[in-house]
């Protein structure tokens, strides 16, 4: 490219046009502009570091130690978050309780995504009678109230399932009940979203070309159509973690969720209402962690929804 010459005779090199941004770069730039979503990432990382890194300073055995001589002591240098009604350290219990709350949210979300994607993809791709049957089943599942089911099954099955020991940690059997109920009663909305996307994408030219080349149906579903449906799946999965944490906290607060000796932020609130005024640290710290975690996840979900919006991505950045 020859340089342009200005009026003074000095050659001027024109600016080279920048290459277009890739899809991932566009998504990253749009997400970065969502200030609350970026703040949500930092808050969530801080919560994870607190729950995981705290194990290097406080042991699980220490979080279970009781000492009635220091019951309901306020925050101090020895117990920064105070002690509960039986003298257990609140700081240590929030560390190990946070691990269970986050674990329940992640596993329940994974179960929800697997079931929702499978049913939505099969119904949307094959259509016909199979679609009708699966959608009627989905509508039937929508009529099952999640919270009452959690309360009933948590009360009935929590004592009948033996505690589990994983990586040296003790988990009450009620954890399995909570994860299973939340995961298996939350997939319906995602299944409908995936089905709608599959109904639209299965008529596209790239799917027709794949069929003409003899590609198997399962390969078309998981290698061609599903990658083009990841945006709503990612957003739904992000918000599902927050919903699972809230559901677990709700039933644990009522005393029929995750049972001792396993601690969660939710069951730490059980009984704290008795000391709302006299010992506010019993509910301020676990309740604050729940609020911060759920808000950060919701902010991240909002940011991902805006960043992955296909209509917005088609516009010039």
Domain assignment present for 89: yes
pLDDT at 145 over 80: yes
Does residue 306 contact residue 102 with C-beta atoms inside 8 Å? no
Domain assignment present for 316: no
Give the closest residue to 300 by CA, choosing from 48, 38, 59: 38
Domain assignment present for 77: no
- What is the C-alpha separation between 37 and 276, in angstroms, rounded? 32
The residue ranking higher by pLDDT, 46 or 210, is 46
pLDDT at 43: 93
pLDDT at 306 over 90: no
Owning domain of residue 180: 31-63+82-310
CATH code for the domain of 109? 1.10.3720.10
Contact partners, residue 304, CB within 8 Å, separation at least 6: 31, 37, 234, 235, 238
pLDDT at 230: 87
Three-state SS at 72: coil
Q: Is the dihedral of CA 198, 200, 204, 208 positive or negative?
A: positive
Does residue 144 contact residue 152 with C-beta atoms inside 8 Å? no
pLDDT at 49 over 70: yes
Confidence of residue 9 (pLDDT cuts 50, 70, 90): low
Does residue 42 contact residue 62 with C-beta atoms inside 8 Å? no
Domain assignment present for 22: no
The alpha helices in the chain, defined as continuous H runs, are 23-32, 35-53, 60-64, 90-126, 128-142, 146-157, 174-184, 188-201, 205-212, 217-219, 230-253, 265-268, 281-307, 310-313
pLDDT at 316 over 50: no
pLDDT at 94: 92
Rg of the chain over all Cα atoms, to the nearest angstrom? 25
Query: 142: which 2 tokens?
Result: 């929508």
pLDDT at 61: 84
Percent of the chain with pLDDT over 90: 29
Domain assignment present for 18: no
What global pTM score does this model have?
0.83
- What is the C-alpha separation between 148 and 132, in angstroms, rounded? 28
Query: 98: which 2 tokens?
Result: 């946070």
Segment 135-160 mean pLDDT: 84
pLDDT at 21: 66
Which DSSP category does 165 fall into?
A: E
Inter-helix orientation angle 230-253/174-184, to 10° = 140
Q: 304-312: long-range contacts at Cβ-Cβ below 8 A with a sequence spacing of 24 or more?
A: 304/31, 304/37, 304/234, 304/235, 304/238, 305/235, 306/30, 306/31, 306/34, 306/37, 307/27, 307/28, 307/30, 307/31, 307/34, 307/37, 308/27, 308/231, 308/232, 308/234, 308/235, 309/231, 310/231, 312/30
Place of tokens 């995936």: 194
Q: How many domains does the chain have?
A: 1
Segment 295-317 mean pLDDT: 75
Three-state SS at 83: strand
- What is the C-alpha separation between 120 and 118, in angstroms, rounded? 6
pLDDT tens for 31-47 read: 888 889 999 999 999 99
pLDDT at 7: 57
Domain assignment present for 24: no
Domain assignment present for 7: no
pLDDT at 166: 64
Domain assignment present for 128: yes
Q: Are strands 169-171 and 11-12 parallel, antiparallel or unpaired?
A: unpaired
Does residue 95 contact residue 55 with C-beta atoms inside 8 Å? yes
């Amino acid at each position: 490219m020859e340089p342009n010459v200005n009026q003074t005779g000095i050659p001027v090199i024109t600016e080279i046009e920048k290459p277009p941004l890739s899809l991932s770069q566009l998504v990253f730039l749009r997400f970065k502009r969502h200030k609350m979503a970026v703040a949500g990432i930092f808050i969530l990382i801080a919560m994870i570091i607190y729950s995981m890194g705290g194990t290097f300073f406080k042991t699980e055995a220490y979080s279970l130690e009781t000492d009635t001589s220091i019951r309901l002591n306020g925050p101090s240098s020895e117990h920064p978050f105070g002690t509960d009604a039986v003298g257990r350290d609140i700081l240590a219990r929030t560390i190990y309780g946070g691990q269970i709350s986050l674990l329940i949210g992640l596993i329940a979300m994974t179960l929800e995504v697997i079931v929702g994607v499978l049913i939505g993809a099969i119904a949307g791709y094959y259509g016909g009678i199979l679609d009708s049957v699966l959608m009627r089943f989905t509508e039937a599942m929508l009529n099952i109230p999640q919270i009452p089911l959690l309360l009933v099954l948590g009360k009935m099955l929590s004592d009948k399932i033996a505690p589990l020991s994983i990586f040296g940690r003790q988990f009450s059997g009620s954890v399995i009940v909570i994860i299973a109920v939340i995961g298996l009663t939350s997939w319906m909305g995602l299944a409908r979203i995936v089905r709608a996307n599959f109904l639209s994408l299965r008529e596209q030219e790239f799917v027709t070309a794949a069929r003409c080349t003899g590609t198997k149906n399962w390969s078309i579903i998981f290698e061609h159509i599903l990658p083009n449906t990841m945006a709503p799946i990612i957003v739904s999965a992000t918000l599902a973690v927050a919903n699972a944490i809230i559901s677990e906290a709700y039933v644990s607060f009522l005393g029929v969720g995750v049972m001792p000796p396993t601690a969660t932020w939710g069951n730490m609130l059980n009984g704290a209402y008795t000391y709302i005024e006299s010992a506010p640290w019993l509910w301020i710290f676990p309740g604050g962690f729940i609020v911060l975690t759920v808000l950060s996840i919701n902010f991240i979900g909002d940011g991902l929804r805006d960043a992955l919006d296909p209509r917005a991505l088609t516009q010039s950045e």
